[in-house]
């Protein structure tokens, strides 16, 4: 399979804190992959580097066959990357409908725009709330709204930073089903996740990040049985 | 043929539906009847008032463009510009220089008006480009824009010497330029000169209506959607694939062009322009009008500006310093009592009562 994302020697430090310490990582098109690691491992920072929010000190990022290392964030997004952040990044004063429209209007017009908005309102169970200011939704609903904003554009690569944080087990399962559905439509998914049950539900392969470096990579079973991985998680739990 | 006709017809319809939308208060028949009544009353005003009072009302209308432009930049795009007077003053001087050189025949004053707006708008585009692409943000935008207008004021104030002339037009330093012709429309029976009075009033009223409706459409369009989203969370907007700096620069240029329209009209109205039109007091006043009315809504801004200007003028009878103090107090009260603006507060209340009455 062809590689949709290829990261080579990615390095970034903030003063003495090394958030990416020469990361080599690649993702084949159509993959559904999880990124795990203890708190502060550099998972969110890795996403920010992919998205161009941080400029790397060294290394290259290739997406869909072209080098995007020097591109600005919005240009990377336009190439087909889409993201849901760890902290919900929605427009709190705008209505749910407006949030969705701003997310989709560059990709869809007229009928197709309103159809997608309707589809996403159904999908997020926010049909009756389309005029509600997004800021007064519950935390879970805000998560859903942002996921909808990220998936509605049908990106080539979807980045999800802790998509199920704050969700009930039911909602978590529903999210997993939705991700499988998206993946079957050809969207490559890279998710940061702490909930191992959820990781098992969605991912075929897992990468473990620790102190800004790739610590291990493999199938779920391999990772769970990996003694070093257990150790770094236990070590983190000891803190 | 038929297909393209329907699609252009439907495009025109979508265009008109944007007169209403989430970014602008007021919708439905009751609102549009109120707008029509207000416009008709404004149009009937010269029939009952004397020419001087009408000329004075025209003066109020002149400032509404700068206020609406500031509402776009500050209220909608979330960028507080403290220097709209830079574009106002530049366009005022441009109108003076152009008309003093070209004269008033053949509708050249109208050309001068258009050119002055283009010059002011382009200047705003350049300033906006350097600010937004130079990553200047937040309160620093206010500092930069204020500096620009104060620098322009200082510069114009030292142009008293005879060497400061552009063609026929002496810039005249602190005393300002005067003697430029008013707007003059070419007509068959001889030019119509628009001195402050009913004819100028009607031209301005027409411009206000067109600008107001045009801005409503713009603010409810895709462009307006992105502007308010940037105000709420610029980082997220970039992560949806928008070039935030480009949108901010364009909004700034549009706001600047509206300030320029006010400036050129002001110069044509009073036939003079001075550096103090770009000074600190002048720069602060539009912020008061827009904040008091309600910066996040174009209708509230328009109504608020006219009310505050009329109040200001009534107070000026007792002394202009006194009036300025009241303006400051008004701003303070707004910020404390109804931060979203007094007119917005009143309109929200009216809407609630109206809806309750219906149900
Ligand atoms: N802009 C920054 N400046 C300085 N340090 C930073 C910056 N961003 C992140 N860090 C530090 O880098 C480390 C990695 O942070 P990051 O948010 O990437 O971790 P994470 O793996 O996403 O953790 P979590 O699971 O808690 O979300 C942390 O120690 C954090 O404090
Ligand atoms: Mg994180």
Is B2 within a domain? no
B269-B274-B276-B277 Cα dihedral, nearest 10 degrees: 30
Dump pLDDT digits (tens) for A64-119: 999 999 999 999 999 999 999 988 789 999 999 999 999 999 887 778 888 989 98
- Quickly list H helices, chain B: 2-17, 28-48, 51-70, 84-102, 108-133, 139-157, 198-219, 222-232, 234-238, 244-270, 280-293, 298-316, 320-337, 342-358
Q: Which residue did the predictor score with more confidence, A27 or B51?
A: A27
For the residues B5-11, what does the mean pLDDT come to?
65
Model confidence at B238: pLDDT above 50 = yes
The CB of A21 under 6 Å from ligand 1? The reply is: no
Tell me what pLDDT residue B1 has. Answer: 39
The CB of A48 under 6 Å from ligand 1? The reply is: no
Q: Which residue did the predictor score with more confidence, B251 or B107?
A: B251
Of B225, B226, B239, the CB nearest to A89: B239
B239/A73 CB distance under 8 A: yes
pLDDT > 90: percent of chain A:
54
**Nearest chain A CA: its distance from B289 CA (Å):** 23
**Nearest chain B CA: its distance from A236 CA (Å):** 31
Residues counted in chain A:
239
For the residues B173-198, what does the mean pLDDT come to?
88
Is B16 within a domain? no
The C-alpha atoms of residue B255 and residue A163 are separated, in whole angstroms, by: 39
The CB of A44 under 6 Å from ligand 1? The reply is: yes
Tell me what pLDDT residue B358 has. Answer: 67
Dump pLDDT digits (tens) for B18-40: 899 888 998 889 899 999 999 99
Mutation for A interface: B9, B235, B241, B244, most A CBs within 10 A: B241
A48-51: long-range pairs with CB below 8 Å, 24+: A49/A10, A49/A12, A49/A20, A50/A5, A50/A7, A50/A76, A50/A81, A50/A159, A51/A76, A51/A77, A51/A81, A51/A83, A51/A159, A51/B239
Tell me what pLDDT residue A238 has. Answer: 46
The C-alpha atoms of residue B161 and residue B152 are separated, in whole angstroms, by: 17
Which residues from chain B sit within 8 angstroms of residue A93, using beta carbons? 228, 232
Highest mean pLDDT among A84-93, B111-120, B340-349: B111-120
Quick one: which of A120, A182, A94 has its CA closest to B231?
A94
pLDDT > 70: percent of chain B:
97
Tell me what pLDDT residue B6 has. Answer: 54
Instruction: Please report the atom of ligand 1 found closest to the CA of residue A46.
Output: 18
Tell me what pLDDT residue B119 has. Answer: 98
Model confidence at B212: pLDDT above 90 = yes
Tell me what pLDDT residue A232 has. Answer: 80
For the residues B294-317, what does the mean pLDDT come to?
91
Tell me what pLDDT residue A1 has. Answer: 62
Is B99 within a domain? yes
Tell me what pLDDT residue A20 has. Answer: 94
Q: How many CB atoms lie within 10 A of CB A115?
A: 12
For the residues B106-123, what does the mean pLDDT come to?
95
Q: Mean pLDDT score of chain B, rounded to an integer?
A: 91
Q: Which residue did the predictor score with more confidence, A140 or B292?
A: B292
For the residues A180-209, what does the mean pLDDT come to?
90
Is B343 within a domain? yes
Is B68 within a domain? yes
Contact B232, A98 (CB under 8 A): no
Model confidence at B260: pLDDT above 90 = yes
What is the maximum span of chain A, computed from C-alpha positions, in angstroms?
55
Is B12 within a domain? no
Of B225, B241, B243, the CB nearest to A101: B225
**Nearest chain B CA: its distance from A26 CA (Å):** 22
Contact B84, B289 (CB under 8 A): no
Tell me what pLDDT residue B355 has. Answer: 77
Banded model confidence at residue A125, pLDDT cuts 50, 70, 90: confident
For the residues B335-349, what does the mean pLDDT come to?
87
Banded model confidence at residue A239, pLDDT cuts 50, 70, 90: very low
Tell me what pLDDT residue A204 has. Answer: 83
Residue of B nearest to A48 (CA): B239
A94/B243 CB distance under 8 A: no
Is B8 within a domain? no
The C-alpha atoms of residue B299 and residue B27 are separated, in whole angstroms, by: 12
- The encoded tokens of residue B280 equal 């600190």
Is B7 within a domain? no
**Range in B11-15, B49-53, B77-81 with the lowest mean pLDDT:** B11-15
For the residues A140-147, what does the mean pLDDT come to?
88
Instruction: Please report the atom of ligand 1 found closest to the CA of residue A48.
Output: 18
Q: Which residue did the predictor score with more confidence, A124 or B45?
A: B45
Quick one: which of B203, B263, B198, B225 has its CA closest to B65?
B263
Banded model confidence at residue A225, pLDDT cuts 50, 70, 90: confident
Using the structure block, give the residue that is written with the tokens 């079973």: A221
The total number of structural domains in chain B stands at 1
Q: For chain A, which domains are there?
A: 1-79+193-238 (3.40.50.300)
Tell me what pLDDT residue A235 has. Answer: 61
B244/A149 CB distance under 8 A: no
The C-alpha atoms of residue B191 and residue B126 are separated, in whole angstroms, by: 36
Which residues form the domain of B325? 25-358
ipTM of the complex: 0.90
**Range in B18-27, B201-210, B222-231 with the lowest mean pLDDT:** B18-27
Tell me what pLDDT residue B5 has. Answer: 52
Quick one: which of A92, A117, A95, A94 has its CA closest to A104?
A117
Q: Mean pLDDT score of chain A, rounded to an integer?
A: 89
Tell me what pLDDT residue A236 has. Answer: 54
Tell me what pLDDT residue B3 has. Answer: 45
Q: What is the DSSP letter of B181?
A: P
């Amino acid at each position: 399979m062809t590689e949709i994302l290829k990261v080579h020697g990615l390095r970034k430090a903030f003063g003495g804190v090394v958030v990416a310490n020469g990361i080599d990582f690649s993702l084949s098109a159509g993959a559904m992959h999880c990124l795990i690691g203890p708190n502060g491992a550099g998972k969110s920072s890795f996403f920010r580097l992919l998205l161009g929010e941080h400029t790397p000190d060294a290394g290259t990022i290739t997406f869909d066959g072209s080098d995007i290392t020097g591109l600005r964030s919005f240009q990377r997004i336009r190439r087909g990357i889409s993201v849901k952040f760890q902290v919900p990044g929605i427009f709190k004063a705008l209505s749910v409908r407006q949030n969705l429209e701003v997310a989709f209007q560059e990709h869809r017009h007229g009928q197709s725009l309103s159809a997608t908005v309707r589809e996403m309102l159904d999908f997020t169970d926010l049909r009756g709330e389309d005029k509600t200011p997004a800021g007064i939704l519950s935390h879970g609903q805000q998560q859903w709204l942002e996921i909808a904003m990220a998936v509605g554009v049908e990106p080539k690569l979807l980045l999800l930073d802790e998509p199920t944080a704050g969700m009930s087990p039911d909602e978590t399962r529903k999210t997993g089903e939705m991700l499988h559905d998206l993946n079957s439509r050809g969207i490559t998914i890279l998710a940061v996740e702490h909930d191992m049950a959820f990781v098992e539900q969605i991912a075929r392969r897992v990468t473990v990040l620790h102190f800004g470096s790739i610590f291990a990579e493999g199938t779920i079973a391999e990772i769970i049985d990996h003694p070093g991985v257990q150790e770094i998680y236990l070590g983190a739990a000891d803190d | 043929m038929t297909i393209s006709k329907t699609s252009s017809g439907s495009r025109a319809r979508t265009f008109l539906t944007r007169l209403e939308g989430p970014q602008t208060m007021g919708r439905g028949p009751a609102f549009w009847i109120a707008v029509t009544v207000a416009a008709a009353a404004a149009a009937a005003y010269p029939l009952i008032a004397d020419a001087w009072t009408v000329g004075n009302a025209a003066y109020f209308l002149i400032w509404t463009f700068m206020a609406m432009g500031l509402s776009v930049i500050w209220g909608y795009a979330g960028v507080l510009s403290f220097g709209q007077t830079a574009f106002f003053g530049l366009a005022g001087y441009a109108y003076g220089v152009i008309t003093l050189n070209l004269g008033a025949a053949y509708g050249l004053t109208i050309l001068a008006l258009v050119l002055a707006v283009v010059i002011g708008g382009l200047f705003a585009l350049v300033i906006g480009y350097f600010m937004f692409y130079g990553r200047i943000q937040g309160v620093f935008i206010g500092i930069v824009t204020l500096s620009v207008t104060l620098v322009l004021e200082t510069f114009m104030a030292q142009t008293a010497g005879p060497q400061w002339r552009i063609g026929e037009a002496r810039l005249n330093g602190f005393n300002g330029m005067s003697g430029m012709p008013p707007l003059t429309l070419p007509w068959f029976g001889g030019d119509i000169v628009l001195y402050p009075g009913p004819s100028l009033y009607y031209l301005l009223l027409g411009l206000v209506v067109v600008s107001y409706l045009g801005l409503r459409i713009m603010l409810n369009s895709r462009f307006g959607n992105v502007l308010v989203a940037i105000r709420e969370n610029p980082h997220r907007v970039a992560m949806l694939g928008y070039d935030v700096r480009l949108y901010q620069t364009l909004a700034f240029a549009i706001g600047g062009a509206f300030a320029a329209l006010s400036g050129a009209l002001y110069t044509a109205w009073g036939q003079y322009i001075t550096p103090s039109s770009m000074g600190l007091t002048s720069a602060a006043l539009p912020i008061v009008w827009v904040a008091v009315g309600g910066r996040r809504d174009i209708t509230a801004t328009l109504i608020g500006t006219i009310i505050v200007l009329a109040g200001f003028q009534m107070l000026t009878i007792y002394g202009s310093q006194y009036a300025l103090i009241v303006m400051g107090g008004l701003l303070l009260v707004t910020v404390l009592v109804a931060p979203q603006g007094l007119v917005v507060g009143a309109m929200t209340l009216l809407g609630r009562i109206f809806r309750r009455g219906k149900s």
